[in-house]
Amino acid sequence: GGQPEWWVCRHWTHVFFYRMRSGEARTDMSKKMLSFVTTGKETPSKREADVRVEDFGEIYDEFDKDVAETQASRCSQCGVPFCQINCPLHNNIPDWLMLTAEGRMEEAYKLSAQTNNMPEICGRICPQDRLCEGSCVIEKGFESVTIGAVEKHITETAFENGWVQPPQPVAERSESVGIIGAGPAGLAAADMLRQQGYQVTIYDRYDRVGGLLIYGIPGFKLEKHVVERRHKLLVDGGVTFQLNVNIGTDRSFEDVRAAHDAVLIATGVYKARDISVPGVGLGGVVPALDYLTASNRKSLGDDVAAFESGELNAEGRNVVVVGGGDTAMDCVRTAIRQNAKSVSCLYRRDRANMPGSQREVANAEEEGVVFKWLSAPQAFLGDNRVRAVQAQKIHLGQPDATGRQVPQIIDGSAHEIEADLVIKALGFDPEDLPQMFDAPALQVSKWGTISIDWQTMMTSLPGVFAAGDIVRGASLVVWGVRDGRDAADAIHSYIMAQSEAPQAAVAGA
């Protein structure tokens, strides 16, 4: 026949697709695919900067069907797809691109959903230039395939058509798993475990589900209804959520352990790194996540006292954000949308050496943010409230042991930047979990992240697993999903082994 045939060999979370095509099918494929030679790269259109800064809606439009099909058809169907190798989930990109190009959207969706529990979210906010698209072989000379935008299009089409269903257990199982943390790692694990039939309870200290997806990442990158939609699917699929429950204070960790056959810690990293310069305690010098959370809560319709009082609101203020990562980019662009008087970003290295995504820097510049590269704060000036940042210029010296050039202060370069709101976006470290959980035997690394055996995803405590930022340190959503899936796989193996152990003992007796 003329249609490709598919063999699906499924080792639970790891899916390998073996494809065999007839000669006719190959001819068919070549007609649809490899159009990169004649068709240029298109990215989804972006709302004009002066329009998009008026609200917190996403800035990128969606591909329509025709553009998605055409862009997907640019893929050269590599024998060794580097895009797939460099996607943390090893998504089967060439195959879902081909199915999209052929208009076979339901199949494309099913394939995409096999390896990713939230493709529409990753399609929106993965730094594709550093992952799948950055490794696309046609990038040299022809510009990469727009993989992320097609991935988003596939799942949005699936939602529109009702193809996205809650997790459906193969059969109910009696064993239960407790998950601490409703961020991407916890949600991905819950989805996978529920499909296996486990009774899953997620505990979160927040009042909403999503972790940094809901309260960290602003709506202009990821609209909140997209996160709430995933929450609802899990509820409909039988996952239980216990919100406003801080494990360690409202309920003990030991209690959670006793209530479940296995526990997954997916608590993320929340201790803001600080900066030790004079004036850091002044009013108006605030941590990034407090600022972003207030803004996100406001967008979600909450009453936020610190926003109304002006403490966490940039309106009418001269804002200086210190830092050069994703969080800093989200802060500067949030401040622009809150009608700040001026917004500048102070970063001690140069543009090429910043950790944040270049795409987000370009977006911020378009929106009116001023970047002060190679600058670092020396002091925050003011009486009670900050009125200026004293900054100094930096020169990048010789590389250190890690290969990064060491920032060196240029003598006599001190200058003042007017500021009545300073946002510190210098990264995050883990909280002291062994202490918070009253579990001194829970081993952590020298950075405070939880140590796990990467083969079994298990911590030093039997039956306790860990995933996401709390293991890796501040990372990416897609790595959270990957770890959550791996942890679910490991928990399944663990519970199976536990339930088989007594029988094996009896059989051997």
Chain positions contacting ligand SF4, by CB under 6 A: 75-78, 81-83, 87, 89, 91, 93-94, 116, 122-123, 126, 128, 131-132, 136-138, 145, 147-148, 151, 478
- Which residues are CB-neighbours of 191 under 8 A, at least 6 positions away? 117, 167, 234, 237, 239, 488
Distance, CA of 199 to CA of 177 (rounded, Å) = 6
User: From ligand FAD, ligand SF4, none, which one binds at residue 377 (CB under 5 to 8 Å depending on kind)?
Assistant: none
Nearest to ligand SF4 of 29, 396 (CB atom): 29
Residue of 212, 219, 184 whose CA lies nearest to 300: 219
Find out whether 388 and 418 touch, Cβ atoms under 8 Å.
yes
- Does position 244 interact with ligand FAD (CB under 6 A)? The reply is no
> Segment contacting ligand FAD (CB under 6 A): 134-142, 192-200, 240-248, 373-381?
240-248
User: From ligand FAD, ligand SF4, none, which one binds at residue 221 (CB under 5 to 8 Å depending on kind)?
Assistant: ligand FAD
Site residues for ligand FAD, 447-486, by CB under 6 A, read: 468-469, 475-478, 480
User: From ligand SF4, ligand FAD, none, which one binds at residue 136 (CB under 5 to 8 Å depending on kind)?
Assistant: ligand SF4
- Does position 266 interact with ligand FAD (CB under 6 A)? The reply is yes
The least distance separating ligand SF4 from the CB of residue 124, rounded to whole angstroms, comes to 8
The least distance separating ligand FAD from the CB of residue 248, rounded to whole angstroms, comes to 5
- Which residues are CB-neighbours of 68 under 8 A, at least 6 positions away? 100, 149, 150, 153, 154
- Does position 211 interact with ligand FAD (CB under 6 A)? The reply is yes
User: From ligand SF4, ligand FAD, none, which one binds at residue 184 (CB under 5 to 8 Å depending on kind)?
Assistant: ligand FAD
Amino acid identity for residue 286 in this structure = V
Nearest to ligand SF4 of 187, 322 (CB atom): 187
* Interacting residue with ligand FAD among 131, 182, 285, 419 (CB under 6 A): 182
User: From ligand FAD, ligand SF4, none, which one binds at residue 83 (CB under 5 to 8 Å depending on kind)?
Assistant: ligand SF4
Distance, CA of 205 to CA of 301 (rounded, Å) = 19
Distance, CA of 181 to CA of 155 (rounded, Å) = 25
Report strand pairing: 176-180 vs 262-265. Answer: parallel
The least distance separating ligand SF4 from the CB of residue 430, rounded to whole angstroms, comes to 24
What SS3 class is residue 276?
A: coil
What SS3 class is residue 377?
A: strand
- Does position 340 interact with ligand FAD (CB under 6 A)? The reply is no
DSSP H helices, 372-476, are: 433-436, 469-472
- Which residues are CB-neighbours of 430 under 8 A, at least 6 positions away? 269, 270, 271, 444, 447, 448, 449, 450, 470, 473
Q: Which two tokens stand for residue 165?
A: 């269903």
The least distance separating ligand SF4 from the CB of residue 221, rounded to whole angstroms, comes to 13
- Which residues are CB-neighbours of 2 under 8 A, at least 6 positions away? 22, 24, 25, 28
Cα 274 to Cα 80, 124, 287: the distances in Å are 44, 30, 8
- Does position 181 interact with ligand FAD (CB under 6 A)? The reply is yes
The least distance separating ligand FAD from the CB of residue 388, rounded to whole angstroms, comes to 26
Q: Which two tokens stand for residue 440?
A: 């001194």
* Interacting residue with ligand FAD among 4, 148, 178, 216 (CB under 6 A): 216
Nearest to ligand SF4 of 90, 341 (CB atom): 90
User: From ligand FAD, ligand SF4, none, which one binds at residue 239 (CB under 5 to 8 Å depending on kind)?
Assistant: none
- Does position 126 interact with ligand FAD (CB under 6 A)? The reply is yes
Secondary structure letter of residue 55 according to DSSP: S
User: From ligand SF4, ligand FAD, none, which one binds at residue 442 (CB under 5 to 8 Å depending on kind)?
Assistant: none
* Interacting residue with ligand FAD among 92, 135, 296, 327 (CB under 6 A): 327
- Does position 263 interact with ligand FAD (CB under 6 A)? The reply is no
One symbol per residue from 393 to 432: x for binding ligand FAD (CB under 6 A), - otherwise; what is it? ----------------------------------------
- Which residues are CB-neighbours of 306 under 8 A, at least 6 positions away? 290, 294, 312, 313
Nearest to ligand FAD of 67, 89 (CB atom): 89
- Does position 125 interact with ligand FAD (CB under 6 A)? The reply is yes
User: From ligand SF4, ligand FAD, none, which one binds at residue 326 (CB under 5 to 8 Å depending on kind)?
Assistant: ligand FAD
Nearest to ligand FAD of 214, 346 (CB atom): 214
Distance, CA of 359 to CA of 338 (rounded, Å) = 21
Distance, CA of 307 to CA of 16 (rounded, Å) = 49
User: From ligand SF4, ligand FAD, none, which one binds at residue 151 (CB under 5 to 8 Å depending on kind)?
Assistant: ligand SF4
Helices (H), strands (E): how many in the chain?
A: 20, 18
Find out whether 58 and 220 touch, Cβ atoms under 8 Å.
yes
Cα 110 to Cα 86, 115, 159: the distances in Å are 21, 9, 12
Nearest to ligand SF4 of 132, 189 (CB atom): 132
How far does the chain reach from its first CA to its final CA, in angstroms? Answer: 56
User: From ligand SF4, ligand FAD, none, which one binds at residue 280 (CB under 5 to 8 Å depending on kind)?
Assistant: none
The residues that touch ligand FAD, with contacts defined as CB under 6 A, are: 125-126, 180-186, 203-206, 211-213, 216-217, 221, 246-248, 266-268, 292, 326-327, 330, 468-469, 475-478, 480
